[in-house]
Structure 1
């Protein structure tokens, strides 16, 4: 009973992530009620989010029923189970076997796989063929196998390993790939199933260190002066639990082992009332297909969220290194596979940034100047998935705009090539080191809530007017045509530069000052389409990447574009976004979800080696008719460093 009371009194909102004591309590309940053995591993255990209606109707002081959702894999037979546990009432509400699926990698399996491979006599023999006598210098990374097409692999929980070798213990092993040496491991039994060996390739001849102390050719710059960001009066935001209030924004953040950072119930205060903008937003999947035909690479396609869990791989951020200024952090707390606590201190960084001019006008007749400076609230986290590092940043602006930016850096996935060898499918980035052409396709699930749950999506296409002596005599006219999507299949759309295509999420039941539906526009940034063949095993698994936009009717269980279990999927499971839209539900004036794909098309450069400069890609959610005018008119005049106001004649 004491645990129940502490849970209820400590949590002040139904979307607060599970605390450590709640996770341990949920694990204990499930272990006891279902007689779990040490062979049962928790792939994830986190908050079972309450129904949307319960959240939106919640009032401070209302009783909160706390529930956990868990995915459990039995390593004795690789069977997968889903559970919902009532922490408040100390009971298991549901326990269901999910046949024919494999959960994502467990955090502990990364080290267990490496240890298993490096102890194998068969692997040692393969190393000796390559002139390597010390397995301790070898590094082994687990990779998802996808659909191998091998009948004997069916039902097994598998991973394929990429292998590298260091020249010394602290070396950059990714610079020396053992290309073509691919152990396949049964993760349940933690034993090698087979070693795929496509022949000995040369080890790269040149060093590729990125630490100055390891490369005498790196001379650290000495002419950078300190850049100090100070806020003597402290930041302008307030944090209470996972609720952030900044300027007119009211934001609640969550966190999951699979998605990492989640935005919940984002509202904006306007004219004395709180107006909802979105209910939930997060990256639902990141698909990374490789285009190299080499058998060492032609199977590679990572689902970084659904197969690896970007949330569980997040970094602990450091002040002055990852974030500058007046910083506040939130920890991320998850369950380990054994049911303990996996805590990442300082996983979420929250701070403000100056971002230049918000608006400005100079009256050239009077020389009167009015200028306001813009700033944004930044909520971010960084994660490391083997060789790659990804940052995910949500920006909130003083003019009501929301922006998302993904930042890609880290070390490329590379392979060794023979001296003088060339291939159209990879770029040589260093002597005898080639990086395959590939893409990073990010899918975002954006549950909009523009002035309420009943929303629609419009598509805007700009067209040139036809020649008309009366209405278009100078042939200069152009205008936009508006289409409101009515069904899910109708809303499978791609960008179109020829028509300046854009999409606007509106509430037809709420009108602005001029009598138009209030709305937010989705503004795409950099993007591309996939180049995979329709019949490829990868495309059969990720058909939703064919379109930049999807719109679905809200379904509480449809959270991940790739489905709940993309690991070792074949595409036949029909539990993904591509299949959900075939229901062709009505999406006009309904509770809807917008899904957006953005793609980094990476034709690799030598400048991306040995560690990649950050690549930025993103999109905006921009108010379009949501406000009656410029919402940043009320920003205070800035003050010059001399003390005078930036307002003069």
Structure 2
């Protein structure tokens, strides 16, 4: 990593996730992962021809755990036979050493298991030996195919003759004349290859005509390429001399009044279990399980070379295994606790991903403040938040996933998108569907859409959900001047009704309320999901991508909890069949009244690339908020003490002292204008 940040003012602590393997929702430990591989081998399921495409915890039914029943410790596995292309879904019982489930994955009815990392090597080998590809490169002035960086990408599922049932990848190339060259600056356009990964053949090479390869460098990583670095920045020092305010008990973290279990999965990445808040001596449940269960990047170039570019980064590429090892002082600053994460590779070998998760606390501005004229008092308290995050690199893009817990019971999620845009050549045709970033260099319009799975547990009982809209009240005898405002609540009673769109014009939110618990005023305790309300999937409703990513066509889906309903686009996403996942989950239109409710919230960014996004994109963000509403009897932060600093703001009648203090520290310069 090219990071020169000083670590002298930072503190690093490390732990390994999964060492508390006895708990029902604990991440599979390194020993358990090794045990799974041994069981697979003992049952002739893992040998030289087979690869593990996915392995993760087979989470038990929450009702079984809540009832105190003993639940088996199991792992979910997807296997691929690389010789035949046959794929299977298994459940491995760690205690008995048996396969609790072993079923075929049908490529026509289901789809294909995720792309294996070793398959990218197969793609390079096949493309490098293909004469059609070499001829197309030569026509573009490239004599050595080894100077082309190949992007082997998920193929999608299109009505193309001969593709049904085949395990495919589609391949685009970028010129990389030297190992130091940033290839994304030099797309080789008008050219794409289709590869059958099972038969190991190049099915087709499509050449729509030679387009000029953009030549301007994108080598931002080489110092001095775009001028000298600025020298004006003074250090910002973050210190916690007494250490952090959080503590661990196994995988469970406690901070202020929060407690939760941190988990990790090679598909979803970071998972938060059992999020609760201590109130009046007891921990009150809020969210049973929270994760970003899918991520979709649909591109909007319909041309013959790129019409298929639609990526499910979670289900097709397993973004959790693409995690960065975070670096102190650069990715995370201050007093940092890192969590190392164990995963198993395709052959069942266990490896540890170091510094995968970053946990720290940070100041978050003013929590509350008031200066009261009648009492002469002036009080202010500082907000702070616990940050739990990880970063992944999926090809050209990098994504940060940040969960924030606040002192006042608020939960936020923020996704950070950065890295490099996927490039193409710019011409008259692409100008309708792409931005020109540099001479002859284009970046197609696209979206970054995330789907959060929020298994709610507000006060751990049956729940209901309402859609809440605000608006002006009509003029009547009680509202003669038309100034009254109010809100309407619409109860969502079934899963079909629970499919909703955001509406910023009425500040639409969704309120999950306990059906039994009430606050001291007799109102149901609740938490409110506030969306950003940006566009969801913009593709046409009858398009191929909309049929495979139906979850992304609505801001919200609400389902009654089912332990088998894990992913919004279905268990198998690569080359998936249409209408998998949420459309199938809600087909029975189960009742939501008094159920354990799961919220599936789609949010994200619509990206029309700017020149400022090249050669590397500054972070752009999106997310959502979960906020308590009548959950507490009063402001839960009245016990937060004043900051232990030289601040006179918690004392009375100190105006003169404050003025003298500030004048002493301010350097006042003459001004030529009037303030």
What range is the shorter-chain TM-score in? over 0.9
Shift of 1:34: 3.1
Instruction: Tell me the secondary structure at the aligned position of residue 213 of structure 1.
Output: coil
Runs (4+) of structure 1 exceeding 6 A deviation are none
Partners of 2:604 and 2:623 within 8 A in 1: no
Aligned to 2:342: 333
Partners of 1:212 and 1:218 within 8 A in 2: no
Partners of 2:424 and 2:442 within 8 A in 1: yes
Shift of 1:157: 0.9
**Aligned: 1:401 with 2:444:** no
Query: Which TM-score applies when normalising by structure 1?
Result: 0.94
Partners of 2:508 and 2:530 within 8 A in 1: no
Aligned to 1:425: 433
d(CA) in 2 for partners of 1:579, 1:357: 45
**Aligned: 1:274 with 2:279:** no
d(CA) in 1 for partners of 2:224, 2:197: 36
Relative distance call for 1:356 and 1:25 in structure 2 (3 A) is same
Instruction: Tell me the secondary structure at the aligned position of residue 587 of structure 2.
Output: helix
Partners of 1:13 and 1:64 within 8 A in 2: no
Shift of 1:89: 2.0
Aligned to 1:575: 580
Aligned to 1:498: 505
Q: How does 1:431-446 map to 2 (within 5 A)?
A: 431-446=439-454
Q: Deviations over 1:462-521 (max 9, x none)?
A: 2322222x2111111121111111101111111112322111111021001110110000
Partners of 2:21 and 2:28 within 8 A in 1: no
d(CA) in 1 for partners of 2:65, 2:206: 51
Paired positions, count? 633
Aligned to 1:628: 633
d(CA) in 1 for partners of 2:301, 2:45: 47
Aligned to 1:253: 262
d(CA) in 2 for partners of 1:80, 1:567: 12
Partners of 1:80 and 1:102 within 8 A in 2: yes
Aligned to 2:561: 554
Gaps of 5+ in 1: 1-7
Instruction: Tell me the secondary structure at the aligned position of residue 575 of structure 1.
Output: coil
Aligned to 1:516: 523
d(CA) in 2 for partners of 1:265, 1:437: 39
Aligned to 2:41: 31
**Aligned: 1:475 with 2:482:** yes
**Aligned: 1:147 with 2:161:** no
Shift of 1:647: 3.6
Aligned to 2:352: 343
Partners of 1:42 and 1:72 within 8 A in 2: yes
Relative distance call for 1:165 and 1:647 in structure 2 (3 A) is farther
Which moved further from structure 2: 28-37 or 76-85? 28-37
Which moved further from structure 2: 597-606 or 130-139? 130-139
Aligned to 2:112: 102
Q: Deviations over 1:340-396 (max 9, x none)?
A: 124311111000010011111111244421111010000000011100100000000
Instruction: Tell me the secondary structure at the aligned position of residue 561 of structure 1.
Output: coil
2:231 to 222, 228, 233: 222
1:591 to 585, 588, 596: 596
Shift of 1:339: 1.2
Aligned to 2:195: 185
Q: How does 1:58-207 map to 2 (within 5 A)?
A: 65-100=72-107, 101-207=111-217
Shift of 1:10: 5.6
Aligned to 1:3: none
CA RMSD of aligned residues (A): 1.9
Aligned to 2:673: none
Query: Which TM-score applies when normalising by structure 2?
Result: 0.91
Instruction: Tell me the secondary structure at the aligned position of residue 276 of structure 1.
Output: strand
Q: Deviations over 1:563-588 (max 9, x none)?
A: 111211230xx431023222111001
Aligned to 2:327: 318
Aligned to 2:296: 287
Partners of 2:467 and 2:508 within 8 A in 1: yes
d(CA) in 2 for partners of 1:196, 1:332: 41
Aligned to 1:360: 369
Instruction: Tell me the secondary structure at the aligned position of residue 152 of structure 1.
Output: coil
Shift of 1:35: 4.8
d(CA) in 2 for partners of 1:351, 1:276: 22
Gaps of 5+ in 2: 1-17, 654-675
Partners of 1:383 and 1:390 within 8 A in 2: yes
**Aligned: 1:540 with 2:547:** yes
